[in-house]
Each structure stands twice: as structure tokens, then as C-alpha cells.
Structure 1
Amino acid sequence: MTYKIIIDSCGELTDVMKQNEHFCNVALELSVDDHHITDDETFDQADFLRRVKESKNCPKSSCPSPESYMEAFGDAERIYMITLSSNLSGSYNSAELAKNIYSEEHPDADIHVFDSRSASVGETLIGLKVQELEEKGLDFDSVVMQTEAYINEQNTFFVLETLDTLRKNGRLSNLKAVVASALSIKPVMGSTPEGTICQLGQARGMTKALDKLIQDMLEKTKNTEERVLAIAHCNCPKRAQSMREKIEKLAKFKDIIVVDTAGVSTMYANDGGVIVAV
């Protein structure tokens, strides 16, 4: 049985995933003022960050169309779509619409949309879980059921240099007012079970905030040796590598993946932001 794992472009693909025919991204669109950017392999992170920094306005994103999703299906017999949290984007609804349209014409197709209730490398890890289960030879319903169970156990954490984009785009509506950046207080943020954003704690300075993130992550993560951990960074590879080394000294994971953020994650993480999912 041929299968396809389609991840909206907020979910980063590793180099290995990009070379695997089972994986593909479907691009969201970004805009900074009048400049429009497609979040695909042409995305230029440095240029985008420069434009955001120079603009007085907040960058925006728009979700893929149902047609974009359906174009990615190809002739796969099993289709899995993984999207940004439905509480943060319309990408999930667009993917569901693509599924419904396609199913009318192909009633025997096995197709499922996973609401990641996360973003960035949270989506990446879900895609890898689907691949793992498919390669084990499980039937479609079992892959879906076990992946949904994996999503229920997954946690996402992040620390950003600035929360301006999240705040301006209304993604922090349920969050208490964050403390003044003049004090160099960095909130440690995370995902809720529903896929919204919450504040887990705070610390003075980026290094202490990332240490707090690691502490919170390890407290919430059971059976680390059986889990893959992923780190996405926005233009700060040394910071991400330092985190990886600290985590490896504290716990043994099945694997640790490090990637640079693609377009949508870059928009929200901003220069210097770090996202961890496990």
C-alpha cells in the first residue's frame, strides 16, 4: 500500500524527510506589508527576518487551500494530513475540506487529518510517528488510533526573544499580560491539551529561561529513552546545540532532531526563538 504524509509548512521537514517520497509539505502564504512569500523551499529566512524588523506592521499568514492539499495526494492509497493546531490556524479546516471533497470522488480512499494541537516540530514528530507505524505494517485504522494517542501525550515548549508577533496576531488571547521586556524576563511557553498557548513559567534572561524549559520538559516527559525529541531554532544554531547538549546530559532520548525554522515558525518564533517538542 502506498502512503503519503502531508504536513502543512509550519511543520519543518528534516533533510532526511525531504528526500523521502512519503513526505511532503503544503505551503502556507506569508506577507509582510505588500510583500508576499510562499513558505516552501524558496523561503529566505534572513530576508524575511529583515523585512519583519523593518516593518511597522505585523507579518501575516494564510492557510493552504483545499486544492493545495489535494494536489499533494498523488496516487497514494493511504493519505495522512498533519496540520497546525486548529486553535491557531485555519489549516486544519482546509485539510478537512480537502478530505471531504476527495472522499466524495474516491469513497474507498483511506484519508485522515491529524490536528497536531501543536506547531513546528510538534507536527514533524507526528509525521515521523505515522511513518514508523506504517513501516511496521499496521492497518490504516491502527496507524490513526496510535498516532492520535501519541498526539495526546505530546508536549510542545518554547522560549522567544519577543512575543510581539504572537500578541499582535491574537494568539495570546488567553494569556495573562507578560512582564516588561525591559527586565529581560523571558516567559517559558507551552501548548495546552486543546492546542492553545499557555505560560508555564518565566526566568530572567534567555539562558535561564531555556534551562527552565528543559526542567519543565523533563518533568512532563516519561520514558524518555522511548521518545524522539525535536528542537527547532530560528537563526540560532549554537543556542539549539547548547540545549541539545544539556538535555543529553540529563536524560537519554531515542533520538534528538535539530532543525532551523521554516517560514511560519520563523514568523512566530522571531529571530532567536527556540521550540521543543517531545
Structure 2
Amino acid sequence: MTIKILADSACDLSKKHYNEYNIEMVPLTVHLDEKEFKDGIEIEPKTVYDAMREGKMTKTSQVSPQTFKSIFTSYAKENQPLLYFAFSSELSGTYQTAKMMEQEVKEEYPDATLHVIDTKCASIGYGLVILHAAKLAKDGASAEEIIESTTYQAEHMEHIFTVDDLEYLYRGGRVSKTAAFVGSLLKIKPLLHVDDGKLIPLEKIRGSKKVLQRMIDVMEHRGADFKNQTIGISHGDDLQRAEQLASMIKEKFGAESVLIEMVGAVIGAHAGPGTIALFFSNKPNMNS
């Protein structure tokens, strides 16, 4: 029986990907105007970005325990193997909730092939990991093979990103108020990365034009074999700059496969409009 891959909406993949690779998606929740919306199902990212530009407050919440229990139970009942590769546990409590529900369901269905894995990844970095898992599942790989190979992909996935306004990261507790205020005044653009699932500031850059070039420099320093991997770019409603970055990457490294998607509503609610994120593997092949 083909193994089913489950992702959550923080992977920022499109419906086309879910359909093509038969991936099941569980949504996180976005809170806007005192209403709740299922990310990727009931609200478009652009709606969230427009609201943020108007100064509205947005919040997010993780997947409920009951939702996971219901999904896991339905697969266990049918004896259908299920692998859930989760959004970074350092950025959301969703992984921990899923782990608890995995234990509960396994008490009732001890023979269920059900595994919950923390990718320590986010946005299209996480999305590329999910696509890797789904392709292996489609090709008939075993649960052990998929977990081993996908975990390797996740461990080597680089996340390099910048935001347009530090205010949003300040609201989410990611930077200090002083840093946000000074950054806005001086038009400083922060460059951040994800290290072991956590958001870590890399450096501050003066002026937005220099940021994309600096991202390319970091990519050159950290990455490898760009021609034989898919590079990911996600953006907070700024397709023009995302495409500009993609052109620079193709020209500099001869990369042929670049996946561009909008940062989804949940991650976008924390990063804000104008976010540009770059994802690539620093060691694409397990044996290299």
C-alpha cells in the first residue's frame, strides 16, 4: 500500500502540488478581524498582507489535538501507512501536539504505521522537503526509506530570508523594539536564517538593493550542486523581487529548477508583506 504523506499549511505549497503528489494537508489557523480562518483553505495570503498593510493585527494558532487525532485514527483504522512531516517545532507547537496524538492513537492501534517527524523547516524550505517525501512515496519507497532520506533533506535545507519591516518580527517577539525602531529609521534590512529550526539574525544590510546580492553571496558560500536541485523562493506578496532573485540565481549558478510560491498566511502573519526567502540544500545527495 502506498504510504500517505501529511503536511501542514506552513509548507506553503500550492493546491497543484497537493493534488499532483497526493499529499494530505492539515491547516493551521489565522485570526483576523476577530474571525478564524483555515490557512490555505479559507483565506488567501494576499488578504492577510493587505490587512497588515492597513495596520490590522493578525494572530495564528496551531492545529488542534482533536484534528490530528481524527486524521491519525482514520488512517490507522484503514491500516493505511501515514507519515506526517511537521513544521519546525521551534516555530510552532503543532509538532508536539501531533506527537501526543500519535501516542494516543498507537495505544488503540499498536500496529499502525504512523510516524510524526519534526522537519525543523518552514515555508518553501519545508515544502521542498515534503515534495521529496511525496515523490519517494509515489515511487513505492518504504516508510523507513522515506523517513531516512527526507530527514537528511530537512537537515541540509538552508533558509535565508529578509523582511521588509522589522515591526512584524518585533510583534512576534523575534527582534527587540529598539532593533525594529532603528531598522525602520535607517532602512536597515535584516538577513536571517534558520538554524536547528530557530530563527537567527545573520546580519544587517543597509538598503534593499544590496539584500538580494547578499543572499546570493551566502548561497554561494553555503550551497552546492545548484544545477541538480530545486531552489525554493517564497515571497510576501512581492513576486517581482522573487523573480528578480530567481533570475540572479539562474544567471550566477546555472540553476534550472526554481520553485516560487507566496509565503502562506500563517508564516506571513509573522514575517509581513515584502518578505523574501531563499531555500536550497547545502548537500543535496546523501552519498556525496
User: Which 5+ residue runs of structure 1 have no aligned equivalent?
Assistant: none
1:248-270 CA distances to partner (integer Å, 9 max, x unpaired)? 01113362101112211221231
Per residue, is there more helix in 1 or in 2? 2
1:77-116 alignment runs, 5 A limit:
77-116=80-119
Give the structure 2 partner of residue 24 of structure 1. 24
* Matched position secondary structure for 2:120: coil
Note if 1:128 corresponds to 2:131: yes
CA offsets 1:61-106 (integer angstroms, 9 cap, x no match)? 1100133234445547221212221111101111212222222222
How far off its partner does 1:14 sit? 2.9
Count of matched residue pairs: 275
Output the TM-score relative to the length of structure 1: 0.89
Deviations 1:21-59 (A, max 9, x none): 621221111113523322132213333223333346x42
Deviation at 1:197, TM superposition (A): 1.0
**Offset of residue 163 of structure 1:** 2.3
Q: Does 2:121 match 1:118?
A: yes
Residue 46 in structure 1 maps to residue 49 in structure 2: no
TM-score, with length taken from structure 2? 0.86
Preserved CA contact (<8 Å) 1:116 1:122: no
Q: Secondary structure at the match of 1:97?
A: helix
Q: Please tell me whether residue 145 in structure 1 is matched to residue 148 in structure 2.
A: yes
Structure 2 gap ranges (5+): 281-288
What displacement does 1:172 show?
Answer: 4.1
**DSSP 3-state at the match of 2:12:** coil
Q: Does 1:241 align with 2:240?
A: no
Match of 1:13 in 2: 13
Change over 3 Å in CA distance of 1:245–1:111 after alignment to 2: same
| 1:249-268 matches, cutoff 5 A | 249-253=251-255, 255-268=257-270
Which residue of the partner structure matches residue 188 of structure 1? Answer: 191
CA RMSD of aligned residues (A): 2.3
Q: Call closer, same or farther: CA 1:69–1:252 in 2, change over 3 Å.
A: farther
Q: What is the CA–CA distance in structure 2 between the aligned matches of 1:254 and 1:111, rounded to whole Å? A: 35
